[in-house]
């Protein structure tokens, strides 16, 4: 990325205390990718890449947490925030439990990220609590086939 965009400063796993003083109340303390321009614009990209052996509902919950984190960053005057999830796990977009709980937000051709109540979480996630978002975010699942002919799907949401 640096070689293609030499005018950008790209930082990985960047701590939020280096950006904010005083530090606002944020649900996460590190940014996956933090990009600044020479003009002073600031952008954040949060990445998720659940593998085939992951706990699907937990990774879905973490993806919604990322969106909440990005909302918090936007409220603190960052110029652009993006959530990207890439997975080969079919349970994200084609789950048998699709009409229940957290699965319905990811199932089908579109993701529909929105607030989630405790009642829509599996028992083992309920202790983590509900996630209240300010908005609802929709995006298409896009296909990607790797060199091993494995089909992955990904979405990109602008927050």
Quick one: pLDDT at residue 98? 57
Quick one: pLDDT at residue 97? 60
Quick one: pLDDT at residue 122? 84
Question: For the segment 86-140, what is each residue's pLDDT rounded down to a tens digit?
Answer: 999 888 888 776 556 898 899 989 999 999 999 888 888 889 999 999 999 999 9
- State the Rg of the chain over Cα: 16
Quick one: pLDDT at residue 21? 85
Phi, psi of 87 (to 5 degrees): -150, 150
Which two tokens mark 66? 């990322």
d(CA 42, CA 35): 6
Quick one: pLDDT at residue 29? 94
Write the DSSP assignment of 14-52 as a string of letters.
EEGGGT-SSPP--S-SEEEEEEE-TT--EEEEEEE---T
Question: For the segment 20-70, what is each residue's pLDDT rounded down to a tens digit?
Answer: 888 889 999 999 999 999 999 999 999 999 876 678 889 999 999 999 999
Task: Tell me the sheet residues that pair with 153.
Answer: 87, 143
Question: Above 60 in pLDDT, residue 71?
Answer: yes
Using alpha carbons, select from 137, 151, 148, 45 the residue that is nearest to residue 92.
151
Quick one: pLDDT at residue 100? 66
d(CA 29, CA 105): 25
């Amino acid at each position: 990325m640096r070689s293609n965009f030499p005018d950008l400063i790209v930082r990985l796993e960047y701590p939020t205390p280096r950006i904010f003083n005083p530090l606002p109340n944020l649900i996460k303390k590190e940014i996956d990718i933090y990009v600044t321009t020479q003009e002073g614009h600031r952008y954040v990209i949060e990445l998720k890449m659940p593998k085939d052996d992951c706990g699907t509902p937990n990774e879905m919950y973490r993806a919604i947490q990322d969106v909440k984190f990005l909302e918090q960053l936007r409220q603190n005057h960052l110029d652009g925030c993006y959530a990207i999830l890439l997975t080969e796990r079919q349970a994200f977009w084609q789950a048998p439990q699709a009409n229940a709980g957290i699965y319905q937000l990811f199932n089908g051709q579109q993701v529909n990220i929105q607030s989630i109540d405790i009642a829509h979480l599996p028992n083992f996630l309920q202790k983590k609590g509900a996630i209240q978002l300010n908005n609802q975010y929709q995006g298409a699942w896009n296909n990607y086939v790797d060199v091993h002919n494995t089909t992955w799907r990904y979405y990109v949401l602008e927050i």
